[in-house]
Every structure is written in C-alpha cells, then in structure tokens.
Amino acid sequence: MKNIYKISAILLVSLTMVITSCKKDEQIIEGCTDITATNYQSLATSNDGSCIYAPAVEGCTDSTAINYNILANTDDGSCIAAILGCTDINAMNFNSLANFDDESCIFAYDIAQGVWNITSECEDLTITIPLIGDFDVPLADMFPETIEISGEGNGVVSMDINGNDVLADIANNGTVTIQDNQTISFDTGGFDPTGTIGMVEVDITGTGTIVSASNGDLFLNLAFSILSIPADADCEITFTK
C-alpha cells in the first residue's frame, strides 16, 4: 500500500514538472497588437510599444457620395449625396438639382432628326373664282404622310415637304420655329377641274414643339393667292415615330 502512495507521488511530481516545462517553453512574440495601427501584427502575443498610427486625414469616407475621398480615414461630415440626372443645361431634360450626370440627357436638335409620320388637320377653306365657281381647297393634301427632318447645324433643321425644304430653328427646350420666308409649292390639280390654276406658292409660318423622340407638333399658317385672290388658313401637324 505504501508503494502505491510512493508511485502516485512520483507521478504527480513528474506531471507537475512537465507542465512547468511547457509553460517555460511557450514562445512570446513581441510586436504591435493594436489592430488600428498601421503596423499591426496578427501573430504578436505581447505588445512591445512599437505601434505606429497614421495621421488623421479628414474628408468624406462614404464611398457612395460624390465627394468621397479614398485617402480620408476620418469622416468630417462633408459628404454630399449623389442626385442623379441630366446636368447639361442645353438638354431638354436638364435637372437643376442633379449633381451627378447619369447620361440621360436628351437634346431636341438630335431627336428631331429622322423620318416622321405626320397627320395633318387644316381648317376648311373655300375660294370663289369668278366665272368658274366655288372650290373647296384641300389644304391637308399638300402635306405627305411622312417627312424627313435633317440637321443643318447650329440648331437649324430642314423639313422635306414634298421636295420643298422648309427651315426651322429648334431651341434647347424643344420649341420649333419656322424661319422667315419659307415657302412650299401646292399643286391645285386635285381640286381645279379647269387646270388653269396650276402650282401655287404658299408662304408658311408657325411654331411647334418636339415633345419627345417619338412625338411632336406644328401649328402652321398658310398664306397664298389663287388667281390674285388672297387666302390663308391654319393647319395642325402631328408628328409621330
């Protein structure tokens, strides 16, 4: 029985010596243990006072802000939230509140160009020709079903109306204004059974709007003379694509 106690005592002493030896052999790694330091060492177990801290760089630290500063490490409250929109003052959809251009700008001069389908509605006009009689003038017939608008530069476009080039100015907001001294030719053969009137030069004036890339309108006044008899009428032209 005494031998058992002696063996137990020897084992206990031996185990204590092994544990003590392991503690003595545990490696201490000195270095900077502060994770906020620029020279932080993840393997260090003991801080040796060597930590180095970057100087404060104030600025906007929000990466979604338009004035985000990638070098800033201290937010100074200067962040400006992005407001998306068209920032070009010359565009139809210019947004004065936008501070970040989203490439959505629409320019009236650009979208006005191309081939348009048109619908013409003109007020009724009847002329009286002495010794011949009264004739209804189908003014809407002088307009084709489609017209092509081409850019001439500097906000000026040309509208091809049955081979007649009519010039118009287009403002940034889409307003269309027919230039002075624009005329189109009108063949009266469709309503003159005598064939004596022939081609008539029509002075065209008016304004309209390019509303979008797919629709617009023009309000025109047509003035002309048939056999020295003056006449004029208004027409509304609707554009679609």
Amino acid at 179: Q
Q: Spell out the alpha helix ranges (H) of 94-181.
A: 108-112
pLDDT reported for residue 125: 82
- Using the predicted structure, report yes or no on whether residue 90 has a pLDDT greater than 80: yes
Q: Which of 197, 56, 172, 70 is nearest to 112 (CA)?
A: 172
Residues contacting residue 42 through CB under 8 Å, at least 6 positions apart: none
Average pLDDT over residues 90-108: 95
> Global pTM?
0.68
Answer whether 127's CB lies under 8 Å from 134's CB.
yes
- Whose structure tokens read 């906000």? 155
Average pLDDT over residues 93-115: 96
The 10s digit of each residue's pLDDT in 171-188 is 999 999 999 999 998 887
User: Which of the following CATH numbers is that of domain 108-240: 1.10.287, 2.70.98, 2.40.128, 3.40.50?
Assistant: 2.40.128
- Using the predicted structure, report yes or no on whether residue 219 has a pLDDT greater than 90: yes
The domain spans of the chain are: 2-47, 55-106, 108-240
Q: Which of 105, 95, 100, 88 is nearest to 64 (CA)?
A: 100
